Amino acid sequence: MSWFPILLVIHITLAVGLLLPSVLLPFVLRRSSSDGPPGPATRALMAMQGTGTIIIAAGLAITGAAMLWILGPELLTQPWLMVALILYAINLAVAAFISRPNLRRLIGLRQASADDETWRRRARQQRLVAYGMAGVIGVIGMLMSTKPNLW
Asked whether position 60 contacts ligand HEM by CB under 6 A, the answer is yes
**What is the spatial distance between Cα 80 and Cα 88, in angstroms, rounded to a whole number?**
12
CB of 85 to ligand HEM, least distance (A): 6
- Cα distance between residue 149 and residue 55, in whole Å: 31
Under the binding rule (CB under 6 A), the answer on residue 48 touching ligand HEM is no
Q: Is 18 in the site for ligand HEM (CB under 6 A)?
A: yes
Q: Which residue's CB is nearer to ligand HEM, number 5 or number 36?
A: 5
Quick count: other Cβ atoms within 10 Å of Cβ 54? 13
Distances (CA, A) of 86 to 67, 91, 92, 149: 18, 9, 10, 17
Which range of residues in 42-50, 110-118, 125-133, 140-148 is near ligand HEM by CB under 6 A? 140-148
Could you write out the DSSP letters of every residue in 22-66?
HHHHHHHHHHTTSSS---HHHHHHHHIIIIIHHHHHHHHHHHHHH
Residues 92-131 interacting with ligand HEM (rule: CB under 6 A) = none
Per DSSP, 3 falls in state: S
Verify binding: residue 133, ligand HEM, rule CB under 6 A. no
Q: Please tell me whether residue 141 binds ligand HEM under the rule CB under 6 A.
A: yes
Query: Rounded to the nearest whole angstrom, what is the least distance from the CB of residue 105 to ligand HEM in the complex?
Result: 25
Q: Which residues bind ligand HEM (CB under 6 A)?
A: 11-12, 15, 18, 60-61, 64-65, 67-68, 71, 75, 85, 88, 137, 140-141, 144-145
